Amino acid sequence: MGGLPAYVRLVRGSALGELQKEYVIASRVAGAGTLRLMFSQVLPNCAAPLIVQATLGFSTAVLDAAALGFLGIGVQPPLAEWGLMLASARDYMDNAWWIVTMPGIAILVTVLSINVLGDALRDALDPKLKRIQ
């Protein structure tokens, strides 16, 4: 709930920007109601920045969970967690580097794949990027 104001500000700013565009004004002059304008014109064009913000927030949550586990504040030892794996492998870094490297690579691949997925979703769902055929 603490991150909700960032999403609200993003959607509000995008919606205010979209309401000033000519196609929204033309739809309003043509007689479209407020709900029709909101769901057919404004919200589809506000989805792209919202998707990017959500995937960045999810990636940040993964990194935060790993950091808390590394510090010993997160998940406790009977359960497996990447940050806890990194913290317990600190003593073996000189002799067995792969014990530290593998959880770090798993975190890297997960965060990178979430960001790439968010970018692909933005490209697929953004009406501004669709070609007219």
Domain residue ranges in the chain: 4-129
- Give the pair of three-digit tokens for residue 13: 């700013």
- Residue burial 20-46, b: 16+ Cβ < 10 Å; e: rest: eeeebeebeeeeeeeeebbeebbeebb
Encode pLDDT of 40-85 as tens digits: 888 888 888 888 888 888 999 999 989 998 888 877 777 778 888 8
- Tell me the residue type at 117: L
Question: DSSP assignment of 17-83, as one string?
Answer: HHHTSHHHHHHHHTT--HHHHIIIIIHHHHHHHHHHHHHHHHHHHHHHHHHHHHHTSSS-TTS--HH
Q: What is the pTM of this model?
A: 0.74
Q: For 124, what's the count of Cα atoms within 13 Å in the CB-facing half-sphere?
A: 7
* pLDDT beyond 90 at 110: yes
- pLDDT number for residue 116: 92
> Does residue 132 surpass a pLDDT of 60?
no
**pLDDT tens, position by position, 1-28:** 677 888 889 888 988 888 888 888 888 8
Pairwise CA distance, residues 17 & 7, whole Å: 15
Answer yes or no: are the C-beta atoms of 65 and 81 closer than 8 Å. Answer: yes
